[in-house]
Amino acid sequence: MNQEEPTLASLSTLKPLGQIRNSFILAVNEDGLWIIDQHVAHERVLFERVLKERAAQKVGSQRLLMPIVLELSPAQQAAFSEISDELQFNGFEAEPFGARSLAVKVAPAGVDAGSVEHMLHELLDQFSREEQSLNLEKIRARIAASIACHAAIKVNMPLEQNKMEWLLVELAKTDHPMSCPHGRPVVLRYSVKDIQKAFKRI
């Protein structure tokens, strides 16, 4: 199996054949056989988009039908006060609600309302566990990665042919298509040479 960094040109010529267990896209091109994790591929696409939109101050958001009220621990409250401005720049609108609660009225576009509470608890827990204060760049990257993860296509999700094609085209446009924001691999590639060797052709 060949895990060299493929060129963006090789990614852009991929043709999806179908899915394995509605989670992994099987694709081919002249370079060989590719297996793409659909969730982390979409995560990479969204992560770079969120960072670009944040830099341009054009992050999309959605008003929630009902505000989501979160109960916060003292550590989470402290973390929220540290990163509240950055959360706002990333499409959140939240304000204190009583002594230990937070009312979230607006969330980033694409994040399902049902995921907002879990996502914010997860983020605030991460930041409250950090021993030293993070720099703004790391805070931005962490928030963007969380938004991307919760807005991305899930595993066990059937995709139409055109959706698979769209995802592979978008992945080819990213700066770092081979790994997700959390460092997991996005694609496995079996080069033609790997396949020939396996069949004892060379």
Q: What is the pLDDT along the chain (202 residues), one digit of tens a residue?
A: 444 555 666 898 999 999 999 999 999 999 999 999 999 999 999 999 999 999 999 989 999 999 999 999 999 999 999 899 999 999 999 988 988 999 999 999 999 988 999 999 999 999 988 766 678 888 999 999 999 999 999 999 999 999 999 999 999 999 999 999 999 999 999 999 999 999 999 9
Give the domain ranges of the chain: 8-48+155-198, 61-151
Q: Which amino acid is at 202?
A: I
**Do residues 103 and 69 lie in contact, with contact meaning Cβ atoms separated by under 8 Å?**
yes
Provide the CATH topology of domain 8-48+155-198.
formyl-coa transferase, domain 3 (3.30.1540)
User: What pLDDT sits at residue 49?
Assistant: 96
pTM: 0.90
- Domain at 61-151: CATH code: 3.30.1370.100
Structure-token pair, residue 78: 């402290």
Matching residue, tokens 């996005």: 186
C-alpha distance from residue 50 to each of 58, 112, 161, 187, 198 (Å): 9, 16, 25, 21, 41
